[in-house]
DNA sequence: ATGACCGACCATGTCGGA
């Protein structure tokens, strides 16, 4: 069966409901992974998602910031949440789809919101950057990567807050000192990608040197003309899912909708 | 550098985002 999975950092789920409805009408994802929902689970607009066709909703939210959610047309066989660096930040949510969802073999989708890392790219003076690097190290050695490497069918999606490749940013040389594209974090992301054997699904469809962006700063006065973007959002597939990806779309137009998120949705379809 | 912004919150400034 074809499973369409989408990931989107919506920067407040309550503020972006009409845009989510518009996106769903256009792309009809089966599973929608959200980051930066910025609300407690009690405040999540559950009934709006049910109205859009997502009867199954898993949450890991917290008041005010961070927060991840998965909305699905198919039921979950399992839901879990992982925590990193000894903190209780809501940055991960995993759902497993099984036979009730029409899958012969179960599929686990890991939805991540990796720490942004602050401004200063020096872990000695910037605790947020130190946290980001420690998070990447811990994720590399976690069951998320271990299971993928051992043959599990899994996807790792979300706002990873790192643009790893030269053509994932508008100017590689200018951004080498800018958090999200520094060599140290790119190397750590690469190490965890190798640890899981993760396949970069987006680049499978659009290899370098084509530019690929999923985020454009709110501060850019004319984001479309300047086009100074970065690819911070990712869709990775475990080795067991090699050659199952059939389509991939970056919904760039969503950045131009009214009161947008600074990230746009990424959609990927898999034949499972 | 994007730097002319945006969102949440016991708000009318502060913190975090990236």
Say how far A63 CA is from B12 C1', in Å. Answer: 21
Say how far A45 CA is from B12 C1', in Å. Answer: 28
Q: Over 90: is that where the pLDDT of A220 sits?
A: no
Give A92's pLDDT tier (boundaries 50, 70, 90).
very high
The pLDDT tens digits of the residues spanning A124-134 come to: 999 999 999 99
pLDDT value, residue A23: 98
Alpha carbon distance A36, A95 (integer Å) = 18
pLDDT value, residue A271: 98
Its CATH architecture, for the domain A2-271, is: 4-Layer Sandwich (3.60)
Q: Where are the domains of chain A?
A: 2-271
Say how far A156 CA is from B8 C1', in Å. Answer: 28
Residue A95: burial class (beta carbons within 10 Å; 0-12, 13-18, 19+): buried
Percent of chain A with pLDDT over 90: 99
Indicate the average pLDDT of chain A. Answer: 97
Q: Over 90: is that where the pLDDT of A36 sits?
A: yes
Give A221's pLDDT tier (boundaries 50, 70, 90).
confident
Bridge partners, residue A8, by sequence: A34
Strand B proximal to A5 Cβ, under 7 A: no
Say how far A133 CA is from B11 C1', in Å. Answer: 33
Q: Which nucleotide is nearest, taking the CA of residue A216 and each C1'? A: B2
* A178-201 average pLDDT score: 97
Q: What nucleotides of chain B have any atom within 7 angstroms of a protein Cβ?
A: 1-9, 16-18
């Amino acid at each position: 069966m074809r499973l369409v999975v989408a990931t989107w950092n919506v920067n407040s789920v309550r503020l972006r409901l009409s845009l989510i409805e518009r996106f769903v009408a256009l792309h009809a994802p089966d599973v929608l992974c959200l980051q930066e929902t910025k609300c407690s689970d009690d405040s999540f607009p559950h009934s709006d998602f049910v109205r859009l066709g997502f009867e199954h909703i898993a949450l890991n939210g917290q008041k005010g910031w961070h927060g991840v959610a998965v909305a699905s047309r198919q039921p979950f066989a399992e839901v879990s949440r992982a925590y990193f660096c000894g903190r209780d930040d809501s940055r991960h949510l995993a759902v497993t789809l099984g036979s009730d969802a029409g899958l012969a073999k179960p599929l686990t989708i890991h939805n991540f919101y990796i720490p942004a890392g602050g401004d200063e790219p020096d872990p000695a003076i910037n605790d947020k950057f130190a946290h980001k690097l420690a998070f990447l190290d811990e994720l590399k050695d976690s069951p998320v990567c271990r299971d993928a490497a051992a043959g599990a069918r899994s996807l790792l999606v979300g706002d990873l807050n790192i643009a790893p490749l030269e053509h994932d940013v508008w100017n590689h040389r200018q951004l080498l000192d800018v958090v999200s594209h520094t060599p140290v974090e790119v190397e750590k992301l690469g190490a965890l990608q190798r640890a899981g054997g993760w396949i970069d699904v987006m680049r499978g469809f659009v290899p370098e040197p084509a530019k690929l962006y999923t985020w454009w700063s709110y501060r850019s006065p004319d984001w479309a003309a300047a086009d100074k973007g970065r690819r911070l959002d990712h869709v990775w597939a475990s080795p067991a899912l090699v050659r199952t990806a059939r389509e991939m779309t970056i919904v760039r137009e969503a950045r131009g909708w009214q009161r947008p998120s600074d990230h746009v949705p990424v959609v990927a379809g898999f034949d499972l």
